[in-house]
């Protein structure tokens, strides 16, 4: 129904809509301004103030619905108010906006106004960009969960074959994973991640595919360590948990995923190949979850990680194609589809980050150059960035001396 088509019902009132429920609005107010915090101190007359940014736009309505079906309309309005999540509100004067209800609305009936239902409600405006980021994170989380569950289903399919075969396959696959982890080299920033992986794998020697999958889930969970900064500093003398940084942990896990996918192609049996791909998928899901904590320095770094994860998922899907017509065809197809969903979600998530990152510029010098002079040249318009830019130039190009950058291409984080 077009809103203009009902304006004749109540002349002088403008129509609005919330979740498709059309109503008329005699009054509407909007709260605008900034969030200011006032600090009062004993013995001091003047107060101090801090500006906490724009205040959330609160829109308040007094609306009414008139008609023979007013009770049905009231029930539909109640359902719209009780529905969770954000929704589109068509404001009579300000137009469409994305809002969410932060407090209950009131619906009124009166014996002096038959066939009329009145209501009052307050809505808080939400930035569409924030909603997109939340939706993207939710999609990534769902894709990760799908890959982990599909990998477990593939391991369960291996568990349905002859007991002697599945036990041998679990033992052989465990040895391959143990060898791959033992051959890893821990890059800087991974803290004690590699020793913890080795200790978790240990000499477990799982007896069946489900035990193997459970071990892989436990080991891969170490990659997805919590990197959130604590709100309160630890007390003096407290033992601080040495957590790995996100990017080095992702890089080391990707190396393991690549090795397991490659080893699956030389597996002696389909059951071995399935278990190795199960392990690969488990680590792939956890490193994808860790990408939310990644602190990329530049667009190029984020693009390199995105490309490497994409290639690893492609290799996993290619290896899963080898099961065509075998006992594990159905389970491998589900895992392949889940991996494709994860690929799309991780690309979308990293692309969202890339748009907010600076690019690495390449400055071409014909002769040796002083890093401090180059930092002044690049960041001279914002003097507060010169010192940080100088340190980045030195760290990024690693010259023999900061005053003698070699001629040629010099990388600068723009």
Question: How distant, in Å, are the alpha carbons of 89, 212, 305, 337, 381 from that of 288?
Answer: 36, 21, 11, 16, 38
Report which DSSP code applies to 92: T
Q: What is the pTM of this model?
A: 0.61
Is residue 364 in some structural domain? yes
Does residue 83 sit in the same domain as residue 111? yes
Same domain, yes or no: 138 and 74: no
In a domain, 316, yes or no: no
Residue pLDDT tens, the chain, 414 long = 334 434 444 556 778 888 878 888 888 888 888 888 888 989 888 888 888 888 878 999 889 998 888 888 888 888 889 888 788 888 888 878 888 888 899 999 998 888 899 999 999 988 755 444 445 555 788 888 889 889 999 998 888 887 778 889 999 999 999 999 999 988 888 888 889 999 988 877 788 888 999 899 888 888 876 554 444 555 544 444 567 788 888 999 999 999 999 999 888 888 999 999 999 999 999 888 888 778 887 888 888 889 999 999 999 999 998 887 678 888 889 999 999 989 888 888 888 777 667 777 777 888 888 888 888 888 787 787 788 888 888 887 888 888 888 888 887 776
Q: Provide the number of structural domains found in the chain.
A: 3
Residues 120 and 134 in one domain: no
> 65 and 154 share a domain?
no
- Indicate which CATH number applies to the domain containing 81: 2.40.30.200
Q: What integer pLDDT is reported at residue 6 of this predicted model?
A: 41
Domain that holds residue 160: 130-228+266-295+326-354
The CA distance from 95 to 89, in Å, is 8
């Amino acid at each position: 129904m077009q809103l203009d088509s009902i304006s004749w019902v109540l002349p002088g009132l403008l129509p609005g809509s919330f979740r498709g429920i059309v109503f008329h609005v005699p009054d509407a107010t909007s709260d605008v301004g900034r969030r200011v915090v006032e600090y009062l101190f004993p013995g001091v007359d003047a107060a101090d103030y801090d500006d906490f940014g724009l205040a959330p736009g609160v829109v308040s309505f007094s609306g009414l619905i008139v008609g023979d079906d007013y009770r049905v309309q009231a029930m539909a309005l109640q359902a719209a108010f009780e529905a969770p999540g954000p929704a589109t509100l068509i404001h009579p004067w300000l137009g469409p906006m994305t809002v969410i209800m932060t407090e209950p609305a009131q619906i009124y009936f009166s014996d002096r106004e038959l066939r009329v239902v009145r209501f009052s409600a307050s809505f808080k405006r939400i930035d569409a960009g924030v909603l997109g980021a939340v939706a993207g994170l939710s999609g990534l989380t769902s894709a990760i969960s799908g890959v982990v569950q599909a990998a477990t289903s593939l391991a369960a399919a291996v568990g349905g074959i002859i007991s002697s075969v599945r036990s041998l396959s679990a033992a052989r696959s465990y040895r391959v994973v143990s060898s791959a982890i033992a051959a890893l080299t821990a890059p800087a920033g991974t803290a004690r991640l590699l020793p913890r992986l080795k200790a978790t794998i240990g000499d477990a020697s799982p007896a069946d595919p489900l035990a193997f999958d459970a071990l892989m889930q436990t080991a891969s969970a170490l990659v997805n360590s919590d990197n959130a900064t604590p709100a309160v500093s630890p007390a003096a003398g407290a033992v601080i948990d040495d957590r790995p940084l996100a990017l080095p942990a992702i890089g080391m896990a990707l190396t393991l995923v690549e090795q397991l996918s490659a080893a699956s192609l030389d597996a002696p049996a389909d059951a071995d190949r399935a278990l190795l791909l199960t392990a690969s998928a488990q680590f792939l899901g956890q490193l994808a979850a860790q990408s939310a904590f990644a602190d990329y320095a530049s667009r190029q770094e984020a693009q390199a990680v995105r490309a490497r994860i994409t290639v690893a998922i492609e290799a996993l899907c290619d290896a899963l194609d080898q099961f065509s017509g075998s006992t594990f065809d159905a389970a491998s197809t589900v895992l392949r589809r889940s991996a494709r969903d994860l690929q799309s979600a991780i690309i979308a998530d990293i692309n969202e980050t890339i748009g907010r990152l600076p690019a690495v510029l390449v400055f071409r010098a014909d002769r040796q150059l002083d890093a401090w002079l180059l930092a002044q040249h690049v960041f001279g318009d914002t003097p507060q960035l010169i010192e940080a830019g100088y340190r980045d130039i030195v760290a990024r190009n690693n010259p023999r001396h900061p005053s003698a950058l070699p001629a040629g291409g010099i990388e600068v984080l723009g």
